[in-house]
């Protein structure tokens, strides 16, 4: 067997292990990665949506607020998957199990690859589930089939970037609370400081520039344009570039942190 075949096989094994883990923790995961975004969707659509929708004016292009909101909620759903991933990686690094793996002739990167792979899968499943709920609540996308493919591609790329970032966070934190806490800016702060709920242009001058230029806004804006069937311009490319950059930097960070674990 070649090294590549073995690496693929080991990664697949670790993926299998993480899928088993996810199934064992299913109820917990449903609450944290699906229920939370659904509650945010209900909160912002039913409770705040009336006023927010009025305030949008022309930006909404005459559509109800839910059509503006859902792309942002989908991005929040992806970001909501960061906490479980960081916690899982942290837990794996602290137990004796990782030492066992390290004393075996197992491809070095397989463990992290398994975590990241399943993290992406979880984020995609959660995003699909939340999209389903949104459709039931009255979300009416006008995307073409090609647009849908682009949406899935961007969501997958964003998931991939954030999965590596969460894995790196899980590797460098010192406690479960730290692993979870360190992902909160991703799942709660950055979405609010982006075009998730309201356009960046409507924000006070101090945060406006940040909100307009941070990765969440690029991703939300491109998904929004694609789902609404309006010209997206170059935002999808900006979004993909951000996803690629996040994935690359996080990957290198995670690899360095993983190696540092072996002293």
Interface positions with another protein (CB under 8 A): 1, 6, 9-10, 13, 16-17, 20-21, 24-25, 95-97, 99-106, 262-263
Question: What is d(CA 147, CA 223) in angstroms, rounded to the nearest whole number?
Answer: 9
- Nearest distance from residue 103's CB to another protein, in Å? 4
**Count of beta carbons in the 10 Å neighbourhood of residue 74:** 29
Instruction: Locate 93 and state its tokens.
Output: 């690094």
Length of the chain: 263
Q: Do 154 and 243 contact (CB within 8 A), yes or no? A: yes
Q: What minimum distance in Å lies between the beta carbon of 99 and another protein? A: 6
The three-point CA angle 113-117-118 to 5° equals: 120
| 223 backbone φψ class: left, alpha, beta (φ>0; ψ -120 to 50) | alpha
CB 7 to another protein: min, Å: 11
Beta carbon nearer to another protein, 2 or 206: 2
Q: How far is the CB of 120 from another protein (least distance, A)?
A: 20
Comparing CB distances to another protein, the nearer of 88 and 187 is 88
Nearer to another protein, 98 or 238 (CB): 98
DSSP helix, strand, coil percent of the chain (3-state; round to 5): 80, 0, 20
Pick the closer one to another protein by CB: 104 or 145.
Answer: 104
The residue (of 50 and 261) whose beta carbon lies closer to another protein is 261
Do 226 and 232 touch, CB atoms closer than 8 A? yes
Shortest Cβ 101–another protein spacing (Å) = 7
């Amino acid at each position: 067997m070649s090294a590549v075949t073995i690496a693929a096989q080991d990664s697949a094994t670790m993926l299998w292990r993480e899928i088993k883990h996810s199934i064992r923790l299913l109820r917990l995961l449903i609450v944290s990665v699906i229920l939370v975004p659904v509650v945010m969707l209900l909160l912002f659509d039913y409770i705040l949506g009336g006023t927010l929708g009025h305030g949008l004016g022309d930006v909404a292009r005459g559509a109800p607020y839910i059509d503006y909101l859902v792309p942002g909620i989908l991005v929040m759903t992806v970001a909501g998957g960061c906490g479980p991933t960081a916690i899982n990686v942290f837990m794996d690094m602290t137990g004796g199990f990782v030492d066992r793996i390290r004393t075996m002739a197992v491809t070095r990167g397989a463990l992290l690859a398994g975590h990241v792979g399943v993290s992406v899968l979880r984020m995609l499943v959660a995003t699909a589930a939340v999209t389903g709920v949104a459709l039931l609540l009255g979300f009416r996308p006008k995307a073409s089939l090609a647009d849908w493919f682009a949406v899935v591609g961007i969501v997958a790329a964003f998931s991939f970037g954030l999965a590596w970032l969460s894995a790196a966070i899980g590797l460098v934190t010192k406690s479960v609370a730290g692993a979870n806490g360190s992902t909160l800016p991703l799942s709660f702060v950055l979405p609010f400081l982006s075009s998730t709920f309201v356009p960046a242009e409507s924000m006070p001058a101090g945060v406006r520039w940040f909100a307009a230029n941070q990765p969440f806004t690029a991703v939300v804006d491109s998904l929004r344009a694609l789902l609404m069937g309006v010209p997206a311009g170059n935002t999808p490319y900006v979004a993909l570039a951000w996803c690629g950059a996040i994935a690359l930097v996080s990957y290198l960070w995670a690899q360095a942190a993983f190696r540092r674990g072996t002293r």
